[in-house]
Each structure stands twice: as structure tokens, then as C-alpha cells.
Amino acid sequence: DTAVSQTPKYLVTQMGNDKSIKCEQNLGHDTMYWYKQDSKKFLKIMFSYNNKELIINETVPNRFSPKSPDKAHLNLHINSLELGDSAVYFCASSQGDRANTEAFFGQGTRLTVV
Amino acid sequence: AQTVTQSQPEMSVQEAETVTLSCTYDTSENNYYLFWYKQPPSRQMILVIRQEAYKQQNATENRFSVNFQKAAKSFSLKISDSQLGDTAMYFCAFKGSARQLTFGSGTQLTVLP
């Protein structure tokens, strides 16, 4: 049983396309996140949802839109993909968002925009 | 804003030896947590160890231990009896009142047979 699962694991697409990455967690957590890892392996928070409400929205182009249909899912939709969007995107979840809570990560989705 | 700095982009260690990875951070907060995450070639991010800023005792998890120096804002990871499976990218991370993980740039550790 995978705790945090993302689909797809790999995504290759052309510039200008719209794509979605799905994330599901079966841990019963109430907080979910999206992180972006760039080509230099640097990890940065993009979004955080707590009980389906957006609580963190870092400086991310509005082409990126997270959607949380329920507490167990946080999907990432990207419009008009650009070359610079190529990266590994990680979904994570935790029970609450306090400092002491452990975040559990999915296996990442490698997005390549050509 | 918090920053986390890992000054060693790459390190290597012989199997069974001990290695220490460095991490420094900058914050004005008093209550926070520090974490070390491991990212093997499989890409999965795995929590290795965590430390609460209020605890003076250094955290340990089997072969992994930390040296937490709050005044110096230093949080190093020591891996004892290194194993081939320890080969991975190691990330230091901070979490405080902003309630989000702030990561360092990572250290690629290679364990040599």
C-alpha cells in the first residue's frame, strides 16, 4: 500500500499543452502539499492545503492551479506548459501543518516539456 | 525568512566508515524543527531524523545521529557504519511558524565499496 501516490510518474509533453498530475494519500492526513524540484535538485514549496483549503500559495505562475476535491486528493493542473516547467513535482501530506509534523512524500512526477 | 545552507554539494565515504554532513540555517524563531531527508536514486523522499529546537539532547536513529548547536544554528548529520544503501542525496530542512519545509540545496553522498 503506497501512502502517497502520484500519477503519472513520468510525463513528457509539448510546450503550450495543458496537463494534470494527480496525488492521493491514504494516511488520513488533513494537509497536503506540492513541491517542485528543479534540475539542480533544489526543492521549493508551491502550495499547501489544509482540510481542502489553500493555506500556502508561494510565488507560482497562475498557470499552476491546485485542486483539492477532498482531503485525500490534491491535484496539480498546469496550463500552457513552458520549457521552464520541466522539473520533478512532489506531492506530500501530513497530519496538521505544525512544525513537528512529519511530511510523507510521493515518489515524484518527472515532467519534461519539449 | 528562513534559509538553510548545505555547503557540501558532494561527499564520499568508504563503506563501514563514518561521515558527517553539514547544515546551517538562519532564523529568528525560537521554536522550530529541523529534519534530514534522504533521496535515493529512486527519487523517494524519506525522513531520516528530526530534532526539536527546544530539546538539548541530540536526536539519534540507529546509525544516524545529529549534532545540534542551537546558538551556532548548526545541524549536522552523522552516519556511522556507512552502507552502500546510504548512497543518496541528503537534504536538511527547517520548519517553523511558516508551517512549510524550507530545504537546503542538498549533499550528494556516495558510499564506496
Q: Are A91 and A46 in contact (CB under 8 A)?
A: no
Looking at beta carbons, which residues of chain B come within 8 Å of A92? 45
CATH code, domain carrying A28: 2.60.40.10
Overall number of domains in chain A: 1
Task: Select, from the ranges A96-105, B9-18, B24-33, the one with the highest average predicted confidence (pLDDT).
Answer: B9-18
Task: Name the residue in chain B with its Cα closest to that of A105.
Answer: B45
* Amino acid code (one letter) for A84: G
B67-89 pLDDT per residue, tens: 999 999 999 999 999 999 999 99
Which candidate from A98, A100, A103 shows the least CB-CB separation from B101?
A103
Residue B10 distance to chain A (closest CA, Å): 13
B46-69 pLDDT per residue, tens: 999 999 999 889 999 999 999 999
Task: Give me the domain span that covers residue A15.
Answer: 4-96+109-113
- List average pLDDT for each run of 10 residues in chain A, which is 114 residues long: 90 97 95 94 91 80 91 95 96 86 93 97
Q: What is the pLDDT of residue A43?
A: 94
Task: Name the residue in chain B with its Cα closest to that of A36.
Answer: B103
DSSP H/E element including A13: strand A10-13
Does some domain include residue A64? yes
The reply to whether residue A92 touches residue B97, judged by beta carbons under 8 angstroms, is no
Whether the CB of A56 is below 8 Å from some CB of chain B: the reply is: yes
Percent of chain B at pLDDT above 70? 100
Q: Are A100 and B53 in contact (CB under 8 A)?
A: no
Q: What is the pLDDT of residue A1?
A: 63
Q: What is the pLDDT of residue A59?
A: 77
Q: Are A83 and A14 in contact (CB under 8 A)?
A: no
DSSP B35-69: EEEEE-TT---EEEEEEETT--SPPEETTEEEEEE
Percent of chain B at pLDDT above 90? 85
Residue B25: is its pLDDT beyond 80? yes
Does some domain include residue A103? no
Using the CB atoms, write b or e for A7-19: b if 16+ within 10 Å.
Answer: eeeebebeeeeeb
Q: Are B78 and B90 in contact (CB under 8 A)?
A: no
Residue B33 distance to chain A (closest CA, Å): 6
Whether the CB of A42 is below 8 Å from some CB of chain B: the reply is: yes
Please, which residues 4-43 of chain B have a Cβ atom closer than 8 Å to chain A? 31-33, 39, 42-43
Whether the CB of B3 is below 8 Å from some CB of chain A: the reply is: no
From the number of C-beta atoms within 10 Å of its C-beta (0-12, 13-18, 19+), residue B20 rates as middle
Q: Are A109 and A12 in contact (CB under 8 A)?
A: no
> What is the CATH code of the structural domain delimited by B3-108?
2.60.40.10
For chain B, domain boundaries: 3-108
Q: Are A74 and A55 in contact (CB under 8 A)?
A: no
